[in-house]
Amino acid sequence: MADPIAARTAADGDALASLAARDLRAEWGLRPIINASGTMTLLGASIMVPEAIAAMVAMAGQFVEIEALHRVAGEVIAELTGAEAGFVTASCASAITLSVAAVMTGDRLLAIERLPDTTGLRREVLVQLGHLVGYGASLQQTIELSGARVLPVGTISGSRDYQLEQAIGPQTACAVFVVSHMTVQHGLLGLEAFCRICHAQGVPVIVDAASEYDLRGFLQRGADLVTYSGHKFLGGPTSGIVAGRRDLVRAAALQNRGIGRGMKVGKESLAGLIGALRAWQRRDAAAVRQREDEALALWQQTLQGRPGLQVRILPDPTGNPLSRLRVMVLPESGWTARRLADALAAGQPPVMVRDYQTDLGFFDLDPCNLHAGEAQQVAAQLQHCLALPTPQAGCPGQKDVLK
């Protein structure tokens, strides 16, 4: 006898299979970009790993007790990070906002319901001035969204022990430490010193490690809470992770009764992130690295020896297991770094390079978000663009916009 539910499930399965084979970009008039830029929100973050996609699809049509699903996610996070507990929210920015809220309110529900009104709560958050970055939005605003106030420590050129030590006062709620290529990279307090000074006066430390591959090191080196993006190197859905001290993680989770409501994740993102974290545990890091190194070698060969271009492979500035190819564009080439980056982005297919430092005369090529065959397409587009008439001679389709 025909089972209507089984029949429907099979039809749904077929629909899913054909859906996955579609290129929505072509259907919806969107450009099929190749990402040689890295993990960028503006380009769609990262390629989601198959385990994450499968888990999202499998959970999408089912009911589940959300608290119980959160518990599963928390256990996986704890296992991977070595933390006592973990919690999932909408993004790393949300994770930072809710972590700061957590240290201010603890588990007091009335205080949670009253945020961003912080009457009666300690609300100063210490951040080294060289760590007050922007990632499309400012870290300061992300922290202050909770009702907290940022108190910058030191100057843009550096901070010293006493500047942090003596900034701590009766209104200090916590301190935030950022690990990123975007921070000032010299003259600042390191994580160990930062934690030692804060902990000596009972101040918890939150580490923003949104883009860092190291899931254990920051907690081991003293952080009370650490936050990550689920959609960057982990290849999960758009989501954010809080990991660390059990009492603080619980207080962060309780914020979903307050300001966290608009930052919540649903069943599909929870399932997808769990899938991504499990895949991360099993991933063959050496094979990934080898593929990336092959792409770098190909691009280096493609560009080496061209007049006016200098190329060199550089390690990631914060120590992630990843290298990039730096392309220095000198005037003899007839190009500027900005114009060459724009020409690549205007090409067919568009190649998006890591172009936030073109004012210094270079861009980088990042191999960590490529599909099979795309390294070769990037090399071909580099050759194609460099063969175009140089911009001074009026190469079409180029603009000179700083991004």
Ligand X SMILES: *Cc1c(COP(=O)(O)O)cnc(C)c1O
**Contacting positions for ligand X (CB under 6 A):** 41, 91-93, 135, 178, 180, 208, 210-211, 229, 240
| Whole-number Å distance between alpha carbons of 140 and 152 | 9
Q: In terms of CB distance, is 178 or 188 closer to ligand X? A: 178
Q: How far is the CB of 241 from ligand X (least distance, A)?
A: 9
Strand partners, 241: 88, 228
Q: How far is the CB of 138 from ligand X (least distance, A)?
A: 10
Nearest of 362, 314, 364 to residue 335 by alpha carbon: 362
Instruction: Measure the CA dihedral 389/395/399/403, to 10°.
Output: -20
| Whole-number Å distance between alpha carbons of 217 and 232 | 18
Q: How far is the CB of 356 from ligand X (least distance, A)?
A: 12
Q: In terms of CB distance, is 240 or 258 closer to ligand X? A: 240
Q: How far is the CB of 91 from ligand X (least distance, A)?
A: 3
For residue 258, count CB atoms less than 10 angstroms from its CB and return exposed for 0-12, middle for 13-18, buried for 19 or more. buried
Q: In terms of CB distance, is 111 or 223 closer to ligand X? A: 223
Cβ 153 vs Cβ 159: under 8 Å: yes
| Whole-number Å distance between alpha carbons of 266 and 288 | 30
Listed in sequence order, the DSSP H helices in 82-128 are 92-105, 109-114
Q: How far is the CB of 24 from ligand X (least distance, A)?
A: 22
Measured in degrees and rounded to the nearest 5, phi and psi for residue 52 equal -70, -45
Task: Tally Cβ neighbours within 10 Å of residue 42.
Answer: 9
Q: Which residue has the tokens 């912080």?
A: 118
Q: In terms of CB distance, is 47 or 328 closer to ligand X? A: 47
For residue 194, count CB atoms less than 10 angstroms from its CB and return exposed for 0-12, middle for 13-18, buried for 19 or more. buried
Q: How far is the CB of 269 from ligand X (least distance, A)?
A: 12
Nearest of 76, 43, 18, 24 to residue 243 by alpha carbon: 76
Q: In terms of CB distance, is 34 or 178 closer to ligand X? A: 178
Give the number of C-alpha atoms closer than 13 A to the C-alpha of residue 53, restricted to the C-beta side: 10
Q: Which residue has the tokens 């006493």?
A: 162
Q: How far is the CB of 210 from ligand X (least distance, A)?
A: 3
Q: Residue 74: helix, strand or coil by DSSP?
A: helix
Q: In terms of CB distance, is 42 or 360 closer to ligand X? A: 42
Q: How far is the CB of 211 from ligand X (least distance, A)?
A: 4
Q: In terms of CB distance, is 159 or 227 closer to ligand X? A: 227
With a CB cutoff of 8 Å and minimum separation 6, the contacts of 110 are none
Q: In terms of CB distance, is 88 or 379 closer to ligand X? A: 88
Q: In terms of CB distance, is 208 or 364 closer to ligand X? A: 208
Task: Tally Cβ neighbours within 10 Å of residue 214.
Answer: 18
Q: How far is the CB of 227 from ligand X (least distance, A)?
A: 8
